[in-house]
């Protein structure tokens, strides 16, 4: 299993880091078997697994429930779990309680927090507590309502300058890795160059130290609209639907179950039964 030091070494050596979300036992198990370096139990689970239209309804309990399942599926992969909407704002006592519960109960290697600014102090304190922190800048889905939707961030020179400053501040606060979501590739390249910690992109071009995608987008499983930056590598949803439709057909036609699927009682038992 990778650790914060080995991930740092991968960056230094120019070995790209492959990261993917996972939300339950089978998805994590398959991702681990595929050779993923890092798995993220993202709060995107609210949208792709629970069917919400944003991530703001996702709770600490949801993250623990899914994080534990993903951990059971991938026992040997660096696992990051998102702190959900509002769970790391407010009092430090409440933040620490939420973070400790998620960290301890999911047996994660790190927790991910969206944003800089006031969040930097939380990062410092969590790292001081002994909890590795992954930062997340650029498009912040938890703040989509404030940002005016899911839009590319850091497009202007001033916004880009602010993002570079924030990225450096996240590293200075002790973050072990940074996720950059939906920003121009030139800006992502600059951030990756200026930081010592691995910078992982999603919709941030290919000059970052690695990539992360959402599981269901990557294999096309129940995800409807794919954003421009997604490449899907399988047609899982279509394969499943075809299989399930055939099952329905065979149940109705009587083609399933066949002889090999059934259990048989011995003749003498049958005779005894009917006398």
2 annotated to bind ligand: no
Judged by CB under 6 A, which stretch of 36-44, 60-68, 149-157, 257-265 contacts ligand KIV? Answer: 36-44
Residue least distant from ligand KIV (Cβ): 42
Name beta bridge partners: 41.
81
Taking CB under 6 A as the criterion, the residue among 10, 11, 17, 21 binding ligand KIV is 21
Q: Name the binder of 223 from Na ion, ligand KIV, none, CB < 5-8 A by kind.
A: none
Name beta bridge partners: 202.
181
Binding mask 32-51 for Na ion (x = CB under 5 A): ----------xx--------
Judged by CB under 6 A, which stretch of 41-49, 117-125, 230-238, 247-255 contacts ligand KIV? Answer: 41-49
CA distance 173 to 120: 6
For position 218 contacting ligand KIV by CB under 6 A, the verdict is no
For position 82 contacting ligand KIV by CB under 6 A, the verdict is yes
Q: How far is the CB of 82 from Na ion (least distance, A)?
A: 4
Residue 87 is encoded by which pair of tokens?
A: 């769970």
171 annotated to bind ligand: no
Judged by CB under 6 A, which stretch of 42-50, 63-71, 151-159, 163-171 contacts ligand KIV? Answer: 42-50
Q: Which positions lie near ligand KIV, rule CB under 6 A? A: 21, 40, 42-44, 82, 179, 181, 202, 212, 214
Q: Which positions lie near Na ion, rule CB under 5 A? A: 42-43, 82
């Amino acid at each position: 299993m990778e650790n914060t030091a080995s991930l740092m070494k991968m960056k230094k050596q120019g070995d790209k880091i492959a990261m993917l979300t996972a939300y339950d036992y089978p998805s994590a198990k398959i991702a681990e078997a595929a050779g993923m370096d890092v798995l993220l139990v993202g709060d995107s689970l609210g949208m792709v697994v629970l069917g919400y239209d944003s991530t703001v309804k996702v709770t600490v309990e949801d993250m623990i429930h899914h994080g534990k399942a993903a951990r059971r599926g991938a026992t040997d992969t660096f696992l990051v779990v998102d702190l959900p909407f509002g769970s790391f704002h407010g009092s430090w006592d409440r933040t620490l309680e939420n973070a400790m519960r998620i960290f301890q109960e999911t047996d994660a290697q790190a927790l991910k927090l969206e944003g800089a600014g006031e969040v930097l102090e939380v990062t410092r304190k969590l790292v001081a507590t002994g909890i590795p922190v992954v930062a997340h800048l650029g498009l912040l889905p938890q703040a989509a309502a404030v940002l005016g939707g899911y839009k590319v961030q850091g497009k202007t020179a001033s916004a880009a300058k602010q993002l570079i400053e924030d990225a450096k501040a996240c590293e200075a606060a002790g973050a072990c890795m940074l996720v950059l979501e939906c920003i121009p590739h030139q800006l992502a390249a600059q951030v990756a160059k200026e930081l010592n910690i691995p910078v992982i992109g999603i919709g941030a071009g290919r000059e970052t130290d690695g990539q992360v995608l959402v599981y269901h987008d990557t294999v096309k499983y129940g995800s409807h609209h794919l954003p421009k930056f997604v490449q899907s590598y399988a047609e899982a949803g279509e394969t499943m639907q075809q299989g399930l439709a055939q099952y329905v057909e065979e149940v109705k036609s009587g083609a399933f179950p066949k002889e090999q699927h059934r259990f048989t009682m011995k003749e003498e038992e049958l005779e005894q039964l009917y006398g």
